[in-house]
Chain A
Amino acid sequence: MCGIAGIVNLKPGLPGPTREALSKMAGALEHRGPDEFGVYRDSRAGLAHSRLSIIDLSTGQQPLSNANGQTWLVFNGEIFNYVELREELLQLGHQFKTKSDTEVIVHAWEAWGDSAFDKMNGQWALGLWDSANDVFVLCRDRVGVRPLYYAEQSGRLIFGSEVKALFAGAPEMTREIDPLGLDETFTFWSVVPPQTMFKGIRELEPGHVRVYRKGELVRDVAYWEPQYPEGQAHRFRGTLQDATEALSSALLEATKLRMVRADVPVGSYLSGGLDSSVVTALAKQAKPSGFKTFSLRFADAEYDETPYQRAMVARLGTEHAEIVVTRKQIADVFPTVIRFTERPILRTAPAPLFLLSKLVHEHGIKVVLTGEGADEMLAGYDLFREAKVRRFWAQSPKSTWRPRLLERLYPYLTRSPVAQQALTRQFFGRGLERANQPGFSHEPRWSGTAALKRLFSARVKDALQGRDTVKHFLASLPSAYNRWPKLAQDQYLEVRTLLSGYLLSSQGDRMLMGNSVEGRFPFLDANVMALANSLPPSYKLKVLDEKHVLKRVAKGLVTEEILNRPKQPYRAPDALSFIGADRPEWVDEVMSTGALESSGLFDPKVVGQLWQKCLTRSDDGQFSNTDNMAVVGIASAQLLYRQHVLAPPSTKQPVLKTLIER
């Protein structure tokens, strides 16, 4: 795993990128790759790389070129099937200098062009400079495991794994929060690529390749799009038992590949839930002895899953390590968390994961497997079940018993029978007439979150001019969307908004790489995704049983308690972390009227009312979902402003192990 960055002149007559600028870009990404640094530059383009050595430890330095030294590459990530692709390329007559996956990409591009990327099974972001043809390529893996940002500025393209690298390499660039980014965050729970939090900076969309020729953008297109059943097309044709066997073998293969394709030991996260338990059990088959697992525990019992974690450790006999996280720790580490997320978040949940990857790093492990992606690919979330019930209800809106199915999803609704039922109907029954329209599944979430936009400052509200963010987003859906089954439509929206923008980014790559740890996700393997997407909806969500086919796979792999437990969403204490008497100073600083006026993002008077309410509540009171999102969202946006807008860019220049100047 690594950090990549670079500068490419798009207009003739500009001076070439300087060694200093490129070194600073590599330096800003040191946490992503502290082992080695490299820079390539010529009169038109420059590439920078910070390396975390995982494969081909002795010769995998970057930037790296093809045989004649004309094509240069910086690459972050892993191509898990590089051995197979290398073999295919050898047959075509290509010759290799190293055993690294990086060199395979250069040759694959030479041999196959854009279609090389669809052959790759992995997680990557890359920049490729073909100096002979004056072609520059940016590319990113299918669902956006690895990050990639770019800006076109004064005739130059500037790109990097994180926004901080762009600011370090082009310190003259304006650093300004984009109101559109705030608008998306306070709707979808995250910015959705290509939108970012910074004006002028874009995020390359997952599954896309962006190509410049002679300084002109010639295409930015999807080399891959998910395929769900359309009538009889793209549809798995076997029985549920066939699907169980196929998923079982695809997951085992995906897990093994992620274990074998590393020259350093690989460990695993164990949350106590089904997904990471399955992954860990499969990984243990691949490495029976000395396999390390890591778990997160909470001092607050409400969030804690210790008994389930320990049950899996006892069953598998792994070498286990764990940390117990408190509210105070979450508050203390939160500014660091936002330094890495580079975007506001509405939940504190990434913070404990930053502390967990620190534990992994301290144990000398550079790579961990997790269960991320299972809920999206195999329909694990309550949201999918909720949408199914609401659609069923919409077929007979006057029914009184249909909405009662919601009580099976949310048992708390049954506590006050008469009362809550009426309120439940009011809350979930909105917009039933839109049951067949795009976005129906997510409307309660999106509209509930968007109500928080009342906290925005007049300046931000003016800039947005009543823009309809949801409508804007829904206009970008692929043409096949309406032909997919309803569940597939709901899954697609979840993948586009929350998986790529939040779970793999703020809660994934950034929290892992902040401590120089690489995450690998068997459920996001290209073959596993293709299989999962092709399954009939009823194999994934059987009536209201979520991840049905995965539970069948899991039989015999995980303990009975884990197989039968109700799904517990991963959560951490949110607003509660920030209101304790022992809260760190930064909290009151960023929530102060002065700091709010300085950033100009929120209305100080309205935020003052919210904050006063929070501080006067008892420490153990339950905050509403709305209050939690408001507090965490404001605090993180304020920190973003302080750390990425007000603070000057990084100027650190590391010692370069590789320097190629031509």
Chain B
Amino acid sequence: MELKDQVRQFIISNFYVADPAALNDDASLLDAGIVDSTGVLEVITFIETTFGLTVEDAEMLPDNLDAVNRIVAFVNKKKGK
């Protein structure tokens, strides 16, 4: 499965997104109310367990976590290191 599909699949099932077609890959998940402050921790756990990565404190930023495309870019960057 493509990385982006994997991330989308996780967001859709874990946060029970009712209308997957309407989930914009660039839109803020926090602003949409899909992810709340505890939900961010679920996103981090997903990244760490699925891809074997460690998310450092300093990386827990909206820029890295708060949209499907942002998560994809972040994971790619981490993997490339």
Residues of chain A with a CB closer than 8 A to B39's CB? 624, 626
B14: interface (CB < 8 Å) = yes
Known contacts: A624-B39, A626-B39. The answer to whether A451 contacts B18 by CB under 8 A is: no
B80: interface (CB < 8 Å) = no
- Which chain A residue shows the least CB distance to B66? A426
- Let me know if A626 and B13 touch, CB within 8 A: no
Residues of chain A with a CB closer than 8 A to B73's CB? none
B52: interface (CB < 8 Å) = no
Known contacts: A448-B36, A451-B33, A626-B39. The answer to whether A423 contacts B18 by CB under 8 A is: no
Contact with B along A421-450 (1 / 0, CB 8 A): 011001100100000000000000001101
B37: shortest Cβ distance to chain A, in Å? 6
B32: interface (CB < 8 Å) = yes
B21: interface (CB < 8 Å) = no
Q: Give Cα A623 to B41, complex, Å.
A: 11
- Let me know if A624 and B57 touch, CB within 8 A: no
A88: shortest Cβ distance to chain B, in Å? 54
B13: shortest Cβ distance to chain A, in Å? 5
Residues of chain B with a CB closer than 8 A to A623's CB? 38
Residues of chain A with a CB closer than 8 A to B59's CB? 419
Contact of B16 among A427, A450, A454 (CB under 8 A): A454
Known contacts: A448-B36, A622-B38. The answer to whether A419 contacts B61 by CB under 8 A is: yes
- Let me know if B16 and A610 touch, CB within 8 A: yes
A472: shortest Cβ distance to chain B, in Å? 19
Q: Give Cα A603 to B20, complex, Å.
A: 14
- Which chain B residue shows the least CB distance to A448? B33
Residues of chain B with a CB closer than 8 A to A626's CB? 33, 36, 38-39
- Let me know if A426 and B17 touch, CB within 8 A: no
Q: Give Cα A418 to B39, complex, Å.
A: 18
Residues of chain A with a CB closer than 8 A to B31's CB? 430
Residues of chain B with a CB closer than 8 A to A417's CB? 57
A200: shortest Cβ distance to chain B, in Å? 29
Q: How many residues of A contact B (CB 8 A)?
A: 30
B1: interface (CB < 8 Å) = no
Residues of chain B with a CB closer than 8 A to A422's CB? 60-63
Give the dominant DSSP class at A's interface. helix
- Let me know if B57 and A454 touch, CB within 8 A: no
- Let me know if A454 and B42 touch, CB within 8 A: no
2-46 of chain B: CB within 8 A of chain A? 12-14, 16-19, 28, 30-34, 36-40, 42
Size bracket, chain B contacts: 20 to 34
- Let me know if A451 and B57 touch, CB within 8 A: no
Q: Give Cα A623 to B65, complex, Å.
A: 19
- Let me know if A418 and B58 touch, CB within 8 A: yes
Q: Which has the most chain A C-beta neighbours within 10 Å: B14, B16, B18, B63?
A: B16
Residues of chain B with a CB closer than 8 A to A91's CB? none
165-188 of chain A: CB within 8 A of chain B? none
Q: Give Cα A603 to B14, complex, Å.
A: 16
Q: Give Cα A447 to B62, complex, Å.
A: 19
Q: Give Cα A447 to B30, complex, Å.
A: 11
A565: interface (CB < 8 Å) = no
B74: shortest Cβ distance to chain A, in Å? 13
B1: shortest Cβ distance to chain A, in Å? 18
Q: Give Cα A455 to B34, complex, Å.
A: 11
A607: interface (CB < 8 Å) = yes
Known contacts: A606-B18, A626-B39. The answer to whether A419 contacts B57 by CB under 8 A is: yes
- Let me know if B30 and A451 touch, CB within 8 A: no
Contact with B along A409-422 (1 / 0, CB 8 A): 00000001111101
48-73 of chain B: CB within 8 A of chain A? 57-63, 65-66
- Let me know if A609 and B36 touch, CB within 8 A: no
A471: shortest Cβ distance to chain B, in Å? 17
Q: Give Cα A420 to B61, complex, Å.
A: 8
Q: Which has the most chain A C-beta neighbours within 10 Å: B19, B28, B31?
A: B31
Residues of chain A with a CB closer than 8 A to B17's CB? 454, 606
Residues of chain A with a CB closer than 8 A to B19's CB? 454
A613: interface (CB < 8 Å) = yes
- Let me know if A416 and B57 touch, CB within 8 A: yes
Residues of chain B with a CB closer than 8 A to A454's CB? 16-19
Contact of B18 among A426, A450, A603, A622 (CB under 8 A): A603
Q: Give Cα A261 to B34, complex, Å.
A: 51
B19: shortest Cβ distance to chain A, in Å? 7
597-648 of chain A: CB within 8 A of chain B? 603, 606-607, 609-610, 612-613, 622-626, 630
Residues of chain B with a CB closer than 8 A to A423's CB? 30, 37, 40, 60-62, 65
B77: shortest Cβ distance to chain A, in Å? 16
Contact of B13 among A448, A455, A607, A613 (CB under 8 A): A613
- Which chain B residue shows the least CB distance to A415? B57
Q: Which has the most chain A C-beta neighbours within 10 Å: B13, B36, B62?
A: B36
Known contacts: A423-B40, A426-B30, A624-B38. The answer to whether A607 contacts B60 by CB under 8 A is: no
- Let me know if B13 and A625 touch, CB within 8 A: no
A239: shortest Cβ distance to chain B, in Å? 40
Q: Give Cα A427 to B66, complex, Å.
A: 11
Contact of B38 among A416, A613, A625 (CB under 8 A): A625
Subset of 10 A-B contacts with CB under 8 Å: A419-B57, A422-B60, A423-B40, A451-B33, A451-B34, A606-B18, A622-B38, A624-B42, A625-B38, A626-B39
With A419-B57, A423-B37 known, 9 other A-B pairs at CB within 8 A are A416-B60, A417-B57, A418-B61, A447-B33, A450-B33, A454-B17, A455-B18, A606-B16, A626-B39
